[in-house]
Structure 1
Amino acid sequence: MARCVPRATLISTASFPKLVVPGRTNRVEASKSALFGRKLHALCRYDRRDAARPLVRTRVFAGQKEKELQVNVSVSIEQGLPEDHEISRIAELLRLNVRTALNLAFGGLKDSGGGFESAELSVILCNDEFMRKRNKESRDEDRAIGVVSKSKHVSGLKIPNVVLGDIVISVEMAARQAEQRGHTLLDEMRLLMVQGLLHLLRSDHEISKEATGEMEKEEERLLDSLGWKGKRMVASDAETHPKANEGKRWKKEGSLRLYKPKFKYVFCDMDGTLLNSKSQLSSTTARALKEASSRGVKIVIATGKARPAVMRVFKMVDLAGKDGIVSEFSPGVYLQGLLVYGIQGQEICKRNLDPNVCREACLYSLENKVPLIAFSKDRCSSLFDHPYVDAMHTVYHEPKAEIMPSVEQFLAAADIQKLVFMDTAEGVSTALRPYWSEATGDRATVVQTVPDMLELVPPGTSKGIGVKMLLDHLGITAKEIMAIGDGENDVEMLELAGLGICLSNGSEKTKAVANVIGASNDEDGAADAIYRYAL
């Protein structure tokens, strides 16, 4: 059973001034409208217990000075729709739009001699599943359509109050129709609301061609008076029926941007992707991640960073913890795929570096005074203090490195998953990378994600392998994910994904395998990619 959901509080019932519609301007005259000259009748009964409880109930006044018609309007959001601020925003705008439309419509209704003093109308926003059930009950058609109107008025009763009934609108269907017709979602829902209102006022375009033509005229007149976008919606209503036009095909279900995301998962790199050149997660990118998560998209981090570093970054924008994007219980790929966490944060993979490679790296660091940092799960260690070592914590958010007094203690402290040398970009490219590419042989793999760092990781490991392992664990296919990255270590992940996006600041190798080249990390490229391709 549908119920009122917590986001109901987002719609305000603040000031609602008395609104009197002038006698000549911006209204549908009864003399010009055969529709408003008709009496209302009950199309079918509808049990409101199946509908959402109203988010708002407001009183609106319309009519001539000498006699005002009181109209009660409620707007509800059925619980099957996601908790999305965009839905709430449209519901609020639609509430105001219903009031405007009723001012016009009831001017004609009063002049028809109905003698009503007040009227009630309910608008329910729902998903396709809810609409399909309502349509099956009312019309015995097992399919979702854009709008269904359920009248509660019983003709012939001599009472001053009229209960118009319910206008039920499928937001998901409206989104698909809006995308096909080039409207905004709000435009399409306004059109559906007008069509629903016309049905409640006993204009049924499915009875005959004459009725269709009559409803088209009424629709056009009302839309013109309201100044809303869209014409001849009744005539195009057949497009929503699966059998109406066999030659036309809707876009795939996943293209419904607002409520059925194109991808179930988005795998994101951190440095150079989610983080800008200052190693910060911008407010724009944070909002995009939150928006995606609120719409059911799972954000999975795949990075060379340690998990505490990622959680520290997300905590700064209030997206860490149980109800955030990352936590100790969320899946993720860390330390270039050497640590992989699955469902409920369980560790499903850990790979350690060869101790002999670690010892050689320590000796090289001491002899050449090149800072070296070891990553051991959630902790870091180093052999001596250095500004670069401090920067790993203060700039890159990694755990503060513990300074070990000797090589032996450095090696004995904990299993080491990866080592990172830090130097100038020139030092890395001219000295460190050539030396260690040869020295490690098949005992380790050399990885470079940023110009001033060189990483040593176990052979046969990579971020891409970690991602594949996590997909298998979660039981999802590569086609179901979108991946965003920038570095050479993101190549496999982008090749694996259903859609791979490399930001414009990325390496040429990564751009070469990407499906899309996005904006740079300093231009919130990851946020733009999420809005464009994931939602």
Structure 2
Amino acid sequence: MIKLVAIDLDGTLLNDQKKISQRNQVAIEQAKAQGIKVVICTGRPLEAIHPFLAQLNLEEPGDYSITFNGGFVQKNDTGEVLEKKVLTSEQVKELITLAQTLDMPLDLLSGGKVYTLETSTNHLSLYPEINPLLTHIPTPLADLDWQRPYNKAVIGYEQQLLDQKITEIPRHFKEQYEVIKSRAVLLEFMPKGVTKAYGLALLAKDLGLTAAEIMTIGDEENDLPMIEYAGIGVAMANAVDQVKAVANVVTASNEEDGVAQVIEKYLLK
């Protein structure tokens, strides 16, 4: 019996206009009313998803989110961090050097703040456009606060060049970090071992749940671990092939209320 459903945002719950459809909203509200935990599982920080949580009535005591691709497990009502894993200062320095070598823009996320670094003079970061709800702070490298905890580093840029640059990243980085694309124009670096499945497993342990009691729904590379982890892993019709290959179920696309369709079929009484 499924007791928790973890849902990705972009390309999954959100349609192409970055909105939650009425059918998706109703299905989620009905699932919660039946006692099923509904957990948003996203690469975004909590500050960037509050409007969606409010719309879904997921800001009450007992509501949780997995943020920063599994780096934080948080209470939605207070923002309290129950579990966390962040980058070390040495890792941040190494990622800055990588971005400079690739001549690509690098943004560091710390909570709801984004520090935009001067790692490229030729390419400007797209991250402010990708996540406009966050506070973006242009930061010279000399002014970077090394005492601040950084959750992840991201390169946001046009897909064709970004994909080319990904092929130039030395193998070492993929061995030492979680390096994944969360969108076509966004590459993310997290501490090794931090995935949505990692965060979800920590929350499941806190709640006394097993993987068999969890359904996950997603579409992108960063959703792959949680799709494999869950008792029922669901891929959107618009998901990348790697996600579809490991999913137990493929639902309709994010433009066709795929989240609602799978909740209605498998979870609602």
What TM-score bracket applies, with the shorter chain setting the length? 0.7 to 0.9
**Pairing 1:528–2:265 present:** no
Deviation at residue 346 of structure 1 after TM alignment: 4.1
> What is aligned with 2:42?
303
Equivalent residue in structure 2 for 1:518, among 251, 266, 269:
251
The DSSP-based 3-state class of the residue aligned with 1:436 is coil
CA distance in 2, matches of 1:376, 1:273: 25
> What is aligned with 2:136?
401
> What is aligned with 2:128?
390
> What is aligned with 1:434?
167
Between stretches 280-289 and 266-275, larger displacement belongs to 280-289
CA distance in 2, matches of 1:300, 1:349: 15
> What is aligned with 2:8?
269
TM-score, length-normalised on structure 2? Answer: 0.87
CA distance in 2, matches of 1:358, 1:300: 29
What is the percent sequence identity of the aligned residues? Answer: 29
Q: Give CA-to-partner distance per residue, 1:328-351, whole Å, 9 cap, x none.
A: 863221101111126976423211
Aligned pairs, number: 263
Matches within 5 A, 1:56-455: 262-315=1-54, 318-319=55-56, 324-326=57-59, 330-341=63-74, 346-365=80-99, 370-383=104-117, 386=124, 388-394=126-132, 397=133, 399-404=134-139, 406-412=140-146, 414-431=148-165, 433-438=166-171, 440=173, 442-455=175-188
The DSSP-based 3-state class of the residue aligned with 2:182 is coil
Task: Describe the shift of the 1:489–1:328 C-alpha distance in structure 2 as closer, same or farther (beyond 3 A).
Answer: farther
**Pairing 1:489–2:222 present:** yes
CA distance in 2, matches of 1:292, 1:284: 12
> What is aligned with 1:56?
none
Aligned partner letter, 1:463: K
Aligned partner letter, 2:175: D
Deviation at residue 514 of structure 1 after TM alignment: 0.8
Indicate conservation of the 8 Å contact 1:382/1:410, yes or no.
no
Q: Which has the higher strand share?
A: 2
Indicate conservation of the 8 Å contact 1:338/1:350, yes or no.
yes
Indicate conservation of the 8 Å contact 1:266/1:481, yes or no.
yes
> What is aligned with 1:463?
196
Q: Give CA-to-partner distance per residue, 1:356-409, whole Å, 9 cap, x none.
A: 332243355467653322111232221269471320333xx4x121221x2132
The structure whose Rg is larger is: 1
CA distance in 1, matches of 2:148, 2:50: 22
Aligned partner letter, 2:138: I
TM-score, length-normalised on structure 1? Answer: 0.46
**Pairing 1:499–2:244 present:** no
Task: Describe the shift of the 1:505–1:347 C-alpha distance in structure 2 as closer, same or farther (beyond 3 A).
Answer: same
CA distance in 1, matches of 2:220, 2:100: 29
The alignment yields a C-alpha RMSD, in angstroms, of: 2.5
Indicate conservation of the 8 Å contact 1:486/1:505, yes or no.
yes
Task: Describe the shift of the 1:497–1:374 C-alpha distance in structure 2 as closer, same or farther (beyond 3 A).
Answer: same
Aligned partner letter, 2:137: E
The DSSP-based 3-state class of the residue aligned with 2:52 is helix
CA distance in 2, matches of 1:414, 1:437: 27
Deviation at residue 505 of structure 1 after TM alignment: 0.6
CA distance in 1, matches of 2:182, 2:91: 20
Task: Describe the shift of the 1:408–1:300 C-alpha distance in structure 2 as closer, same or farther (beyond 3 A).
Answer: same
Q: Give CA-to-partner distance per residue, 1:51-75, whole Å, 9 cap, x none.
A: xxxxxxxxxxxxxxxxxxxxxxxxx
